[in-house]
Structures are given as C-alpha cells and as structure tokens.
Amino acid sequence: MMVVKRQETENNMHVLKEVFEIIKFLGRQNLPYRGSASNETISNFDDILINKGNFLEIFQFASKKDAILHKHLRQAIKNSKLRKERLEKNKNLNSKGQGSLVTFLSKTTVDKVISGILKAIRNKIKNELGDQNFSIQMDSTQDVGVMDQASICVRYINDGDIKERLFAIVQVKSSKGKELYKLLKDCFFEHGLNFSNIIGESSDGANNMSGQFSGLL
C-alpha cells in the first residue's frame, strides 16, 4: 500500500513538473495560455477538431511521448466524462470547472503556478536591487477588455551589468499624473521597494507622464 501511494505521489510530481515547464515555455514565448472557455473541458480532449488552447494542446502533445502524462490524461478524461454524465443526469448543466477532480490541468492550477513564478521573479529582482538607486519606466495601455493597465519596469546595475526588468502590471483607474504617482508608490510599498531610491524616469512623453506641472514625477 505504501509503495503504491509513493508511486502515485511521484507520478503526480512528474505531472506537475511538466505543467510547470509548459507554463514557463508559454511565458518565454509570449504565447497565450488559454483558448475558448467552452473548449477547455477535459471531456472534449478526444475531439481533434476542437482547439483547446496552447496549454492543453501542448500537454496533450507531450503526453504522446510520456507514459506517465498519457496515463494521467486518459484518467482525467475518463473522470471528466463521468462527471459530465452525472451532471447531465441531474440536470445541473450550469456547473463549471473540474469540481473535486484533481487534474492539475485546470485554470486554477495554471493561475497558482503563474503566481508562484511571479513571486519568485520579484524576489530575485529585489535581491539584485538591494538598496541601490534605480530608474523606472512606466507606460499604460488598454487591453482587449478595454481595461487600462500600466506596466512598471525597473532599471538597475547588478554585478556591472544593466538589468531592465518588468516588475508589475497594475490596473489604472485614473490617468492623472497625481493618481499614477500614488499607484506607483503604493505598488513599490506593497512589494518592499524603496521609493526614495528612484533617480530617473522614462515614459512615452504624454503630458500626464512627463508634464512639467502635472506629470508623474
């Protein structure tokens, strides 16, 4: 029994490692993770006509060369189909997500992994930055959902090399220079960066960013 449990744990760790590697790959390539929400159901995996999004498609491709991933995916598909049939029988068709199914392939799992990677990257930036002076770059734009978001980059020296790192993307509720200043200051305070160490700033030249009387800094 203990041997079986240990093997199951090792297999789950293997699956999670591959999930982690796929997410890192998509991030490096600047590729979206998800597809259409209606196509991301595990029970649809056997339908080759459905595009399930980059993350699930790559996992399915990887499972063709990996026995552990293949077994995990087949079991997840089987369990998902059984759950779907049970929901249809109970006429609970509006239920979303995997419920109590442990697949490691859900949006929830992906979001948690991305949050973990983000935390690790920020910690590395803060360790490299220490208490030295640095400059910032800040720019805002609307995403496809017409939500205004600002990217905050920090530029500093580490071991003689210039580092330029994206530190945060934050929602912009007001584009006034005073509000952007508060947004930037709150972001740095939240993550433990010394706001008073900023010695330079660059932007796209818009009035609210670099205006003499109403600019960001």
| Residue 155 structure tokens | 């530029």
CA distance 17 to 75: 18
This prediction has a pTM of 0.74
77-127 pLDDT per residue, tens: 888 888 777 777 776 555 555 445 678 888 888 899 999 999 999 999 999
Measured CA to CA, the distance from residue 72 to residue 180 in angstroms comes to: 47
Q: What is the pLDDT of residue 209?
A: 55
Confidence at residue 60, expressed as pLDDT on a 0 to 100 scale: 92
- In angstroms, the Cα distances linking 81 to 1, 43, 156 are 28, 5, 52
Rounded to whole angstroms, the Cα distance separating 167 from 190 reads 12
User: In a 10 Å sphere around its CB, with 0-12 CB exposed, 13-18 middle and 19+ buried, how is residue 137 labelled?
Assistant: middle
Domain boundaries, the chain: 2-117, 130-210
∠ CA 12-16-21 to the nearest 5 degrees?
150
Q: What is the pLDDT of residue 212?
A: 46
